Chain A
Amino acid sequence: MFNIQNISKRFSENFVLQNFSFQISRGDKVNITGRSGIGKTTLFRLLLGFEKPDSGTISFEGNVLTDTSVWELRRRVAYVSQDLSIGTGKVQTLFDETLSFRANLKYKEGAAIEIPQLFDYFELHDSLLQKDIETLSGGEKQRVAIVNSLLLKRDIFFLDEISSALDKPLRIKVLDYFLLNPGFTVLSISHDNYLPSGVEIKALKLN
């Protein structure tokens, strides 16, 4: 599905990634680890086309990613970012805005039923919908961002530290949701060493 070939990326004088290659197949669950500043988030930004590699190529389903083809990729992937900048205003407004994008309009109808279900699974109270995002705790924001991504029915997930602010039982619940679904292709940056049984997790250690 993804073929990363010999990519290098540096910011000013520091190489973040150097001659890095990796393949990801459909249904793979990849756990990316490595010390902070090593380029884990940069890898996601490269895959989403927000950064360009200095050399090397990234292919998605056999086609080399370009400035134009990356838009299609962004409509296929769900990205849950680490730094929790998911905006301001009411939680419901965030969902509404996401579903108002032309690429997502077709999921608008189903969302009304799914939001309560997802809220239930991720242990969020329905009243949260009317709360301002700024007033949520870190853990609540993380789960709201996860729900926001799941409404879009994507099957490729880039998850950047999505469970760091959650307690252990919830963290396992969140990771299970993604890792135990055989249809999901998951790239996850996580410090967790949790491995659910019966799933093969590919480890990708950057150094």
Chain B
Amino acid sequence: MTMNGATDLSALSMFMCAILLLVPLIAVWYFKLGITKNLVTSTLRMAVQLVLIGFFLEYVFKFNNWFLNLLWFLVMINAASFSVIKNSGLRIKQFALPVLLSFIIANFFVVLYFNYFIAHLDFILDAKYMIAIGGMVLGNSLRSNVIGLGDFYKSLRRDEQLYFYKLALGATKYEALLHFAKKSFVSALNPTIATMATMGIVSLPGMMTGQILGGSVPLVAIKYQIAIMIAILASTVLSISLGILFTVGYSFHKNGTLKKEIFRTNL
């Protein structure tokens, strides 16, 4: 991957970009959608965060120090797992550690596997790969985990009768939970599977776009894209299974009933 192939965008370009922002802004204002403030703050946040990260990554890539790379990847994983817990309506206190652990194991395994066996890097903690590939894997499995882990516990609360029914038929806790885990897996994996089926026709994925702008030939870009999609699937399945496995231990009372206090909002 050559990262310096894309043409730099001048200040005028960025100004023209801001003009384009007027389209959503005017629409939001004209139709009184009530999200003007959200739109503006989100755009500003994005700009500020990306500028900071841009400067930061300049240095990370320049030093390419294994410790710094590792540390930054951990920061990313940490942010992702907190985002998963928050967005799935679960309580940070109970879930922070197990979800973080599941994310660390799943994403490190997949990224290191990618770097060593697929990309054949001499330095498997290389900043560009670890942070770019890791970020893509992490971002996508984050979305799936919000669906997967969140859906698992929500469906248990929603279909409590069904869960009890299985327990009353003599199922162990794990036997009764298997049904719910399977369903969550399906709903978590479905969006990725659907994306893969239309990939290339409906959308050119971000990774390919980046590589093509960066000067790679499309035939190289697609190989990376295929590899990354499979890496995303692997890390999603791993992190959801480990996430469920690590959290069921203390999400239930001894009699098998779900602890209501694991949810942030009590319904």
Interface residues of A (CB under 8 A from B): 45, 48-50, 52, 67-68, 70-71, 74-75, 77-79, 81, 83, 85-87, 97-98, 100-104, 148-149, 152, 158
| Segment at the A interface, from B43-51, B145-153, B251-259 | B251-259
- Do residues A87 and B179 form an inter-chain contact, with CB atoms below 8 A? yes
| Given A101-B175, A102-B175: A85 in contact with B169 (beta carbons within 8 A) | no
What is the CA–CA distance of A104 and B172 in the complex, to the nearest angstrom?
A: 11
Q: What CA separation (Å) do A152 and B133 show in the bound complex?
A: 51
| Contacts A81-B168, A85-B165 known; 14 new A-B pairs at CB < 8 A | A45-B164, A67-B253, A68-B254, A70-B256, A71-B172, A71-B256, A74-B167, A78-B168, A87-B162, A87-B165, A97-B179, A101-B169, A101-B172, A103-B170
Instruction: Say yes or no for B13: interface residue by CB 8 A criterion.
Output: no
Contacts of B172 in A (CB 8 A): 71, 101-103
Q: Which residues from chain B sit less than 8 Å from chain A, CB to CB?
A: 159, 161-162, 164-172, 175, 179, 253-257
Is A49 in contact with B161, judged by CB distance below 8 angstroms? no
Report the Cα distance A45→B253, complex, angstroms: 15
Given contacts A85-B162, A87-B179, contact A52 B255 (CB under 8 A): yes
The 6 closest A-B pairs by CB, nearest first: A67-B254, A79-B168, A103-B170, A67-B255, A85-B161, A75-B170
- Interface contact A79-B255, CB-CB below 8 Å: no
**Which chain A residue lies CB-closest to B178?**
A97
* B168 A77 Cβ-Cβ under 8 A: yes
CB distance from A58 to the nearest CB of B (A): 12
A95 to chain B, nearest CB (A): 11
